[in-house]
Amino acid sequence: MTRKSADSGPATSDGRICAGRPGTSRHFGSFYIDGQWTTPLSETTTPIIEAATEQRLGDLPEAGAKEVDLAVAAARAAQPAWDATPAVERAGLLERLAGAVERRSKQISEIVSRQNGMPLALSASASASANVRAVAGTLRYYAALARGGFADQERPALAYPGTVRLQRRPVGTVAVIVPWNYPLGLTAMKLGPALAAGCTVVLKPAPETSLDAAYLMEAIEEAGIPAGVVNLITGGRQTGDLLIRHPGIDKVSFTGSTAAGRIISKSSSPPIRSRTSTGR
């Protein structure tokens, strides 16, 4: 089957996810860059396999160098204004995002379960490591922290007379790379603090579980989060490599295998100030 853009074409007869299929996002197969749904430039795709049936569930477009450039440029351009947005306003937008995710809970739970085989009871649960309801709770948690503000603080010095000044500043543009096992829950654990702090994000989900991210971007739109603050690209190792090596990325937040974390640590562009890697 020839891949079509996310805004065209009927559902396939074999049950694959594609535009127009009832109950699924019409944006599957698109990237979300600078507040716009973008049709991939390349026709290179990777199949997404349904865990229960081992049948093709959908086709994952691979972001190339130009699309990574566009996503990073959009995030960097949006970051100063997002940082300048009062923390209490960022908190309000995070709370609106939590509500928008909850309104899509049924669709998200179903697609997460189809992608990775997770029972619906778990994909919809509120447990700390699961998905839909936990996502909303995580976003609200960081919204509450943002409402407290990020004003400079002076504290007594521990090792010498005098005081120290504590300053909290956003690191800049963050590459968020998440694994397949709890895709949306782990995304929220990275997205929430980044947005609360004034950072902008380029998200790359695991290639096995990328379909749910379209719903998250729809929620981003509904919540009114400004264009460029959160961007979505999809793809496999090559796309991830382009992203972590990009000189416009200030921080990489990664959860995955220890081996992949070591590669990221060695491969990240030299200007990157920090990395957060959770291996298993």
pLDDT at 223: 98
pLDDT tens-digit map of 77-98: 999 999 999 999 999 999 999 9
pTM > 0.85: yes or no: no
User: 45-54, 135-144, 261-270 — which is least confidently predicted?
Assistant: 261-270
Is the pLDDT score of 233 beyond 60?
A: yes
Mean pLDDT over each residue of the chain, to the nearest integer: 82
pLDDT at 120: 73
Whether 23 is in a domain gets the answer no
Tell me how many domains the chain contains: 1
User: 57-61, 117-121, 197-201, 222-226 — which is least confidently predicted?
Assistant: 117-121
User: 48-52, 113-117, 153-157, 181-185 — which is least confidently predicted?
Assistant: 153-157
pLDDT at 9: 31
Phi and psi for 43 in degrees, rounded to 5?
-95, 10
Whether 56 is in a domain gets the answer yes
Whether 2 is in a domain gets the answer no
| Structural domain harbouring 263 | 31-278
Answer yes or no: are the C-beta atoms of 180 and 186 closer than 8 Å.
Answer: no
Whether 1 is in a domain gets the answer no
In CATH, what number is assigned to the domain containing residue 212? Answer: 3.40.605.10
Higher pLDDT, 277 or 195: 195
